[in-house]
Chain A
């Protein structure tokens, strides 16, 4: 059996208590929600918290999705609490209607069994992934550890001073494309961070969140005249992490695109905004020419490393195909 190491398990009932427990236990403690990322990582000794603080008993993290009235602070957004499961998000009627990119991203994650357990918060705080890292302790020891855990070198880019492990959450690029806001609660109080500033392009230090902070809410913009979609590339139709994700958000002004954001997932250590690709469709009617130009513009900065499934040249090439496909979908929906 591939067993968990021993640890202290705590089940606080309130956010305040959870944060207190984390502060008391220090850097050796971690939060857990569904456990579908943390527990496999602990079994492979990637993450080795001595104390695990479960967030599943905290009611504030599991409220029904709601509209928040404009009050200067929350500016009338639609609020998803972080403890909702992926099954709940993918199946929610309002989300399916008004935020189909979010529902789509969620329903494409792994398997129904895993989506019953995995949460929104856990998905957005997912550890970065790499073929040289997501292996058992013995495997990693056999080739010698890499710098993400226990070692000094990067096996993907041996001369590199940094780790290139891949951002592999399906919802992270969607949230960046939608310009969602994340509410973080920590020992020093609350703060709101735009999704785009929640992630770092670094395989080891991939979140800007402090370890003590809990992601409590994701606030989505009102559905007023924008549209978005998410395309995911993976080997099997189930189970697999993305090897490329494309999230596109556009705001229409009549028949023309007034604003756009194109975000690539699983090609860097963070969800990668590609402003150069968005620029070429702004002012266009998303005609074939504009779509092609955007696909080519997204292709250039898409630089997958050889550390997930499939060959990297093909994954890079697929950036073009997927951006084209996603934009064509949005155009078809507008007609």
Chain B
């Protein structure tokens, strides 16, 4: 029997590069990257919200650029490098993750993966963004909990850490201290 002849004809069989790993995966050809990540690769860190491009919670990086995985076909990602929130921490949390946790920039956390990746792409391009630039870069990610200020502050703090500065969160942005 020829290899692959057991495959349902409508399924695609490809190798995706996800978080630096090459993963073979089979999925229905009309699936979005969001569906492939969550359902076929079981990477449920990427969240699904509106699934229509209206919320940003599904954001992942494709070739370093933040895009909406609910509007990208899995098939269109062959040969591209995909980065999801699962790829951010290695032995330690990514500075953005640490800053989000320290400053209460995640409450329910549903929007957080999208914010983290979008912010990571921003800092790669612009290691010292102004608050206005952070706001602009994150203006495609909705958050129903935080009111955004804590998110902007966390990105500023993480940016400072990533530049090697000994930055401390300002007192007024921390809860439960003193």
Counting residue pairs across A and B whose Cβ atoms lie within 8 Å, the total is: 81
Min CB distance, B61 to chain A, in Å?
10
Q: Are B53 and A5 in contact (CB under 8 A)?
A: no
Distance A226 CA – B94 CA, assembled complex (angstroms): 50
Cβ–Cβ < 8 Å partners of A332 in chain B: none
Cβ–Cβ < 8 Å partners of B30 in chain A: 3-7, 9
Q: Does B48 belong to the interface (CB within 8 Å)?
A: yes
Total interface residues on B, CB under 8 Å, equals 30
Distance A117 CA – B67 CA, assembled complex (angstroms): 7
Q: Are A43 and B67 in contact (CB under 8 A)?
A: no
Q: Does A139 belong to the interface (CB within 8 Å)?
A: no
Residue of A nearest to B122 (CB): A112
Distance A112 CA – B56 CA, assembled complex (angstroms): 10
- Partner pick for A9 among B51, B56, B75, CB 8 A cutoff: B75
Q: Are A3 and B72 in contact (CB under 8 A)?
A: no
The stretch that binds B, out of A34-42, A142-150, A180-188, A248-256, is A34-42
Residue of A nearest to B114 (CB): A113
Min CB distance, B18 to chain A, in Å?
19
Residues of B within 8 A of A (CB): 10, 28-32, 35, 48, 51-54, 56, 59, 65-68, 71-73, 75-76, 118, 136-137, 139-142
Q: Are A117 and B72 in contact (CB under 8 A)?
A: yes
Q: Are B67 and A116 in contact (CB under 8 A)?
A: yes
Cβ–Cβ < 8 Å partners of B10 in chain A: 6
Distance A107 CA – B72 CA, assembled complex (angstroms): 21
Q: Does A239 belong to the interface (CB within 8 Å)?
A: yes
Tell me the chain A residues, 1-35 only, with Cβ under 8 Å from chain B: 1-9, 11, 34-35
Residues of A within 8 A of B (CB): 1-9, 11, 34-36, 39-40, 43-44, 54, 56, 110-114, 116-117, 237-239
Distance A269 CA – B20 CA, assembled complex (angstroms): 46
Residue of B nearest to A54 (CB): B76
Distance A112 CA – B66 CA, assembled complex (angstroms): 8
A-B pairs, top 5 by smallest CB distance, nearest first, are A111-B140, A113-B140, A238-B139, A2-B51, A40-B52
Q: Are B29 and A113 in contact (CB under 8 A)?
A: no
Residue of B nearest to A4 (CB): B30
User: Known: A111-B140, A116-B66. Contact between A1 and B51, CB under 8 A?
Assistant: yes
CB pairs A–B below 8 angstroms (12 shown)? A2-B52, A5-B30, A6-B29, A7-B29, A36-B71, A40-B53, A56-B76, A110-B53, A111-B56, A112-B136, A116-B67, A239-B142
Cβ–Cβ < 8 Å partners of B31 in chain A: 3-4
User: Known: A6-B30, A9-B75, A239-B140. Contact between A113 and B52, CB under 8 A?
Assistant: no
Q: Are A3 and B35 in contact (CB under 8 A)?
A: yes
- Partner pick for B73 among A5, A35, A36, A111, CB 8 A cutoff: A35
